[in-house]
Amino acid sequence: MKIYETKEGLILEASVKPKSKEFKIVVEGEEIVVYCRAEPVKGKVNKELIKELSRLFHKKVELISGFTSKQKKLLIKDGGKSEVESVLTQK
């Protein structure tokens, strides 16, 4: 999984697939794929992504790069790497 620790929290690299039937996270080898229900219009996918990941990890999540790309980098504030990995592998 592409998760990096920084002093601010964890950076998670993910690929996003919009217009899916349900929100879900799939870990495929080293890649994290997030399926979002929203359409890629006016930042709707980004909003859904931040909302759902914040709810899932119970942490503040910020999008730091990939605002208009399918490849996103997200900052999970005050997250522990083992905690985040265990949540992702349960999905």
pLDDT in tens, 30-70: 899 999 999 999 999 999 999 999 999 999 999 999 999 99
CA–CA separation, 60 vs 75, rounded Å? 8
- Residue 1: is its pLDDT beyond 90? no
Please give the tally of structural domains in the chain: 1
Say if pTM beats, i.e. exceeds, 0.95: no
- 6-29 pLDDT tens trace: 999 999 999 999 999 999 999 988
Percent of the chain with pLDDT over 70: 99
Whether residue 46 contacts residue 63, with contact meaning beta carbons closer than 8 Å, is answered with yes
CATH number for 28: 3.30.1200.10
Domain span holding position 51: 3-90
